[in-house]
Chains A and B, each alone.
Chain A
Amino acid sequence: AQTVTQSQPEMSVQEAETVTLSCTYDTSENNYYLFWYKQPPSRQMILVIRQEAYKQQNATENRFSVNFQKAAKSFSLKISDSQLGDTAMYFCAFTTGNQFYFGTGTSLTVIP
């Protein structure tokens, strides 16, 4: 069975600090894609970052980067220089080609 686990239901970080959100997944497939989505209070789902499993280099998008450990099936999200607008629910997700699997989410609060 394909599963995604986010073990931190809630986290907080001081503005301008760095925070890491963890995600682990389980699949027997070798080719897959991983995503982090952000859901602010407006409830929109916004893509934060994407990682292809066949790429060893960790993806980076401005202040957002991932630590992808394929052998450990781990895909953590690091947010640097946290801003108030980063306050949101963050979902880790992956797909092997057809279905999508999401974690239960981490609610992140950035404290002024």
Chain B
Amino acid sequence: EAQVTQNPRYLITVTGKKLTVTCSQNMNHEYMSWYRQDPGLGLRQIYYSMNVEVTDKGDVPEGYKVSRKEKRNFPLILESPSPNQTSLYFCASSLRRSNQPQHFGDGTRLSIL
């Protein structure tokens, strides 16, 4: 089954404790992306990747890191999480570039205390 898998689905943690949200896709997609969703703000792109070893900043990259060492995985890293990063996070992928519809993961609800 074609899918984008995010883990964990839910996480409650404390300020300053490094965390990683994993994202994996099994569709051989070139394009992958991370978004955060906040009430009243819609989805905002954090980082995106056009292919292996190619990443770029979206609209809200501050406080986040990503890496694309292999095609299927695109982890989101919060080196020193803060409460303003409490949000719903989505990973998405598409076949090539971003003119194709994106397949979304089920989301990760992250709470930073």
Binding site for B on A (CB under 8 A): 4, 6, 9, 33, 35, 43-45, 47, 50, 52, 91, 93, 95, 97-105
Q: Can you list 8 residue pairs at the A/B interface with Cβ under 8 Å? A: A4-B42, A44-B104, A95-B99, A98-B56, A98-B97, A100-B33, A100-B43, A102-B45
The proximity string for B residues 85-113 relative to A, scoring 1 for CB distances below 8 Å and 0 otherwise, is 00010101000011101101011000000
Min CB distance A21 to B, Å, is 13
Min CB distance B53 to A, Å, is 16
- List the B side residues contacting A100 at CB < 8 Å: 33, 35, 43, 45, 48, 58, 98, 102
With A98-B56, A100-B102, A102-B42: A43-B33 Cβ-Cβ less than 8 Å:
no
With both beta carbons as reference points, the residue of chain B lying nearest to A52 in the complex is identified as: B99
Give how many B residues have a beta carbon under 8 Å from the other chain's beta carbons.
24
Q: Tell me the interface secondary structure of chain B in the complex.
A: strand
Asked if A43 and B42 sit within 8 Å, CB to CB, the answer is no
With both beta carbons as reference points, the residue of chain A lying nearest to B43 in the complex is identified as: A102
- List the A side residues contacting B98 at CB < 8 Å: 33, 95, 97-100
Binding site for A on B (CB under 8 A): 33, 35, 40-45, 48, 50, 56, 58-59, 88, 90, 92, 97-99, 101-102, 104, 106-107
With A98-B56, A99-B58, A99-B59: A104-B42 Cβ-Cβ less than 8 Å:
yes
Q: Could you say which of A44, A52, A105 contacts B106, with CB atoms under 8 Å apart?
A: A44
Distance in angstroms between the alpha carbons of A43 and B104 in the assembled complex: 10
- List the B side residues contacting A98 at CB < 8 Å: 48, 50, 56, 97-98
- List the B side residues contacting A97 at CB < 8 Å: 97-99
With A45-B90, A98-B50: A91-B43 Cβ-Cβ less than 8 Å:
yes
Min CB distance B62 to A, Å, is 16
Min CB distance B67 to A, Å, is 18
Distance in angstroms between the alpha carbons of A97 and B107 in the assembled complex: 24
Min CB distance A76 to B, Å, is 17
